[in-house]
Each structure stands twice: as C-alpha cells, then as structure tokens.
Structure 1
C-alpha cells in the first residue's frame, strides 16, 4: 500500500460527491450503485455509504444497494471481481444484486454496455430505487470527447458524458464522479486503505478507448500539460449549449413528429439544422435505436431528407429505413424477416 497523502484525500473526495449529488436528492428515494470492482466504482459506493453514515437525518434502510454484472469474458478474473464486490457489499451491510451473462462470446462494447445497463435498470426497479449511479470519472469524460471527435461527432458528442439521463420510464442514471479525476479517486482509496480490482483488459490497446488513454492522451499532455482540464472546460461549455438546443428540439419534435406504424416527420426547410438534428437524436434515444453507429454523416443525411435537399430512400445503421413520400419523411425499423 502506498503512503497516504498529507491532506485528507478521502474527506475531500466525499465532499466533492456531496457537492455534485447531495444526499438530500437521493437519500429518501434510493440508489443502486453499479460496481465492477474497479477503483472508480469502489470509491463511489464507499463514498455514498460514508455520506449516509455521516447523515444526521434518520434515513430508511435499504436505500443504498450494490449491483454487479459479470460479463464472464475474462475467466477467473471475472469471477474474482464478482466475489470482491460481493464481499465489499457484505462489509458495508448493503443489499447486493448480481447477474452473470449467458451470452457467451459477446465482446463488442456496445452490446456489453446494453446488457449491463438493462441489468442495472432492472435492479433499481426490483429495489424500488429512483436512481442508478455509475462511476464515470473526469478522465472518462475527456477520453469520450476525444473518441467522439476522432470518429466525426457533432455538438452532442463534444459535450461528453451526460451527468444524468433517463434509464427507462421510472429510473434515472446519474454519474456523480464526472468532476473528479482518476488520480484523486485512487488517492482517496489509498487514504482509507481500500483495495480494488484491476481489469487486465484495460491494458489492451486494441480497444480504441484504451489506446486513447494509454497512448494518445500521454502524447497530447507531453505538449499540452493542462490538456485534460482544457478539454473538460470545453466539454462543459458545449454541454450548456446542447442543453439549450435540446429544449428547442423538444418543441420542434412536438410540432413535426407523429407516431404510427412508421414515424412520420413533417418536411421543414426553415428550422435551424442543429435543432432538427438534436430532435432526431432525441427520437433515436426514445426508440432505443443504436446511437453509437450513427456518425455525423448519417445525421446530416436525415436532415437533408427533412429539409427536402435529398429524397432518395436509404438504410441507416440499426436497419432503420428512411423514405421521403410527398410532404414528409418516414422512418421505420426493418425487422429481420423483411430484410
């Protein structure tokens, strides 16, 4: 174990969590914490548990629970992580929910993420909790912005990871650690001598995010030492802009989008392109259509159809067919038997 830093790293960490997501907001409605066993999620559950223990207000029991999804992709290491999180939940005396993947061989990041979020949502519903908390850090946000930028994103992608968003109808996904760096998180855990698990796959540079973390970011920081802070500030400014844009997009969708066997969108060549694209991104999220496969080129193609610039039918990622009958645009997901 490394020597403790001179300052109270753990106390400062807990205060940062409470400032970002006060106990008063979630203490009486419950939260399920997704915990992989890694440093970020271990620090999150320990920090939230600490805030509950220090609270002077009597809170109902069972308001804090831990959930672990075992993807079973790393053999004994995956089982080690599950056992570690189960033991941690026992030490904290909080409910523990677990699930092991039965989809052997699934390894793409998007499918793994969807399975994990579906499990966390179901866990929150089972516990009657309003929130699911996950442990994305400030470093994750910077790496996400760079990942989006390099694959050709628009304004929403440059806004980085959302601090909160709906996860189903009655559950909200929150990320209380987005303003805290990985370095601070690990320092806080060392202060209380709390161990964690290391995921060996995080060193595999075949994954783009790992390449960004281990190769691209160090290269950038060798020339721009304050690059992480600069990217975080730019992302925050962009997020404020996106929030305003999304409000306008909701109003636009109410006027122009109708639901039926297919989704019908009234043609519109007057509204700003950014508002229309934001409205379409909201629609994609509501329909749970695949977002990560959509590039800026795809969103531009949809806008061109709505604005009447382009009228040829085409297929979009996720088997979404877009057609342009007179006066409107039609979107429909093609089922496997139709393809």
Structure 2
C-alpha cells in the first residue's frame, strides 16, 4: 500500500481540497464513522481519512462500519474483505446486520437505505458525532435526474446536501459527504494510484433499479452530447440548494414570528398568506418533523381541508402516509409517526428516564434544580414518607374506571384543543392504584382520598409536593408524543 502524503499528484488535487474542507467541519475529538461497504467510493474515502497526513488528528476517533443487508449471498465474503482492508489501514472495524422484510423490488432501495442509516447512527456514541459516506459527483447528478423525472420541487432538485443533521433516538449527529464534489473518474484514478482493492456489487448492473437505469442508460447518452454533464447537473443541484435555503429562511421567519410546536403547525396563524406562502411554511415545518417528503397529492389534500366549506363534526381529517399519517384537528396540522398507545410508567422509572434523556442532551446527570421551583404547575397532596417509595406512584394513561369529573375534563380538553387521539391516553398520576391527579387539570378529580396513614394507622403530616410538571411533559413527549398544548 502506498501511503498518502500532503501533496497528491495534480490530477488528484481535488481530494486534498475535499479533505481540507471536511476538516473544517470536525475537530480532534469528533468521532467519525465511515459507512464502509467495500465498494470503490467508500474504500477511497476510508483511505483518504485514515492515511492522508492532514487527517492524522482524526485517526484516534475514526472507525469503519459495514452493514450486511442480507440481500447478497456473498455478503459474508464482503464483510471479511472490509475487515481485512480496515486491518491494513489500522482502522477499527464494526459490522451490523439488518433485516429487510419486503422482498419486492419496488421500494426495496428506500427501505434498505432507511434501515442502513438507523444501524449506522445507533453506533455513534455521542451527540454531534459524524457519519460520513462516499457519495460523489456522479451520485449527485443521478439523484437530481431521478428526482426530476419524479416531478420533485426545489427540495428534491437540491439532491443530496453536503452536510445534514439527523435526529435519532440516541441524539443528534451530522451526516457529511466529503467527496460530493469529486468526479467519479477521479475516484477511479485515486484507487489505481494507491493500488486499492474493492468489491463490485452485481446488483449495480440490474436495470430493474431506477438508479442503475439512470447510470447505465441515461447519463451515457447525455455525456455523449455534453461531456461535462455530471458537473453541470451537480452545479444545478447547488443552485437549487441555495434557492431552498432562501425559501427556508423565509419560512423560518414566519414560523418564529408565531410560536410553533414540534408536534403540530397551527395554520390559522397563516391564513393571511396566499397558498404558495402557506405551502412553503408547511414544507419547511414538515422537513424538520417528518422522515419523508410531502408530494403534490399531499399538498392538494391539505389545501382541500383548509378551504373546505363544510367541516366534519369533530373538525378532524387524516391522510395515511407511507410512514405515519397527517392529521388535522381544528386548524392544526399534525404529523403522527404513530398514534399514542396506552402506557404505565412508575415514578422511579419515569425520573430515571428523564435523567437519562437530560444526560444525552448534555444537561447533566441529575434533575435540573429549576424544576424544584416550578410555580405555574399544579400540586398534589402526597404523603412525604410514601414519596420516597416512588415505585408506588405511577404515571399512566387515563382509564374509564378512574374517578374523575368527566364534564370538567371535557371542558379542559376543548379549551386547550387537545385532539381525540391524545385524549384516549391522557396522562394521570396514581398512588397505589388510586387516581391523585390529571396532567394539566387541577380540578378534574371528584375528590381526594382521606389522608394516607402509615402501617400503624398514625396520620403522617401531609405536605404539598410541587410535582415537576415540566418533567412530566418531557416524558409525555418521549414516550407517547403528547405535547404541552401551548407548546
């Protein structure tokens, strides 16, 4: 293996420029995970980041991650090849197996992509770590053309961003494509110059995949007439990306002028805008909320609901998406990855969940002290001794068997425009199975029990414990996706 130096041959200088720019996006303590398939592009990227002298500061926090999709009979051979390459480059190697339920060709690419990124992100240890992939200029051109023939808008024609933040259950991390501006033929030249070895995926030749049709049949025709077509198409993607950025800025100004929830968009606040501006606000909001893009038929449905002359009795509409659903309640547009389900969490588990969440968000390993001084929340009468036995106190879904004032609770739900799917699992606090509070509604109980007594039947002094309502709201957001109504 020929080691890389700071000065590559002139025809490979694009790699030095790409590496220098990438190094401005990370620091010496950033963990960098390379999605390593053993193919040409990821092999070149792994070599560049592990062997180039400029990349030495990254080496101690760099590792390669191979994903076995289970779609190829020789995947174990590829894994062995990848592990051998990593050993020769002195880069730690990890591997994961994902199972793709559908075997239909239609949609299998998107399913595999989603599962692949889930597996890759699951191994990133900390927030703000970086996942890198070997996408290059030809990939960018193919993506734009594929989105173009699908009738994509500005977002789709922006193709792949150089850098994107991805939110997972473990936190936030950055996905960066360091080689996105490098032409494919330069990757081939780099691999030959450094005598690299890579595997070829036979599925890349199958024309029942749309990307392969674009690569093997469409782009060659375009290149025959416009030799630099990949570069110019990639430049168009960059221009569209800048246009999208401007549209996002316009939408964000409008969204910031009206406080919004991550769970819903209150479109009543934007009724003075024309449809194009409303559509841009919806697109920008949904891009931060959903893991998919809205299509023309989705926007047409939203517009139909907005301008419907007669509303349903409950003022509610829903539209099923490939992942989750869109739902209207009142003038709010919701995106529901899944409907909230009934739950039960004991207080000790609940507090531990919040503490773990706070640690992941970098707040620290204990409950922040400001929660002990909440004055705008509701209060419960809880026995001081039993409070220490938090395993007896549970946060759970409302049950029809609970003793609560149905009329007052209905008024509470209506006042705060709480949608029907949240009402079915609304959180309550119970002590030893007995209802002692309804989240957000301090007067929804019919009555409180007699003072709790200890085992010796001696009345223990009752104390008012200010329940950390903000913590409970956070738990609801994490466990059952119930937001605070004024968000």
Between the aligned partners of 1:176 and 1:310, the Cα distance in structure 2 is: 51
- RMSD, matched Cα: 3.0
Contact in 1 for aligned 2:155/2:244 (Cα 8 Å):
yes
Partner of 1:71: 69
C-alpha displacement of 1:90: 0.9
Partner of 1:263: 264
5+ long unaligned stretches in structure 2: 1-7, 312-316, 342-420, 422-487
Contact in 2 for aligned 1:321/1:334 (Cα 8 Å):
no
Partner of 2:197: 195
- Could you list the structure 1 runs, at least 4 aligned residues long, displaced by more than 6 angstroms after superposition: 309-312
Partner of 1:118: 118
| TM alignment of 1:128-277, pairs within 5 A | 130-168=129-167, 169-256=171-258, 258-259=260-261, 263-267=264-268, 268-271=270-273, 273=275, 276-277=278-279
SS at match of 1:322: strand
SS at match of 1:33: strand
Normalising by structure 2, we get a TM-score of 0.59
Distance 1:330 1:93, change over 3 A: closer
Distance 1:28 1:159, change over 3 A: same
SS at match of 2:60: coil
After superposition, what is the alpha-carbon deviation per residue over 1:202-261, rounded to whole angstroms, capped at 9, x for unaligned?
Answer: 00110111111111111222333332222112111111111122122223334457448x
C-alpha displacement of 1:290: 3.1
Distance 1:49 1:130, change over 3 A: same
5+ long unaligned stretches in structure 1: 1-6
Partner of 2:409: none
Matched, 1:315 2:316: no
Between the aligned partners of 1:61 and 1:184, the Cα distance in structure 2 is: 24
Contact in 2 for aligned 1:257/1:266 (Cα 8 Å):
no
Normalising by structure 1, we get a TM-score of 0.83
For residue 284 of structure 1, the aligned residue among 277, 283, 286 is 286
How many residue pairs match? The answer is: 322
Distance 1:272 1:37, change over 3 A: farther
Greater helix share, structure number: 1
When Rg is computed on C-alpha atoms for both structures, the one with the higher figure is 2
Partner of 2:355: none
Between 223-232 and 152-161, report the one with greater CA deviation: 223-232
Between the aligned partners of 1:311 and 1:133, the Cα distance in structure 2 is: 50
Distance 1:148 1:274, change over 3 A: farther
Contact in 2 for aligned 1:138/1:180 (Cα 8 Å):
yes
Distance 1:70 1:333, change over 3 A: closer
SS at match of 1:125: coil
Matched, 1:82 2:79: yes
Between the aligned partners of 1:60 and 1:178, the Cα distance in structure 2 is: 20
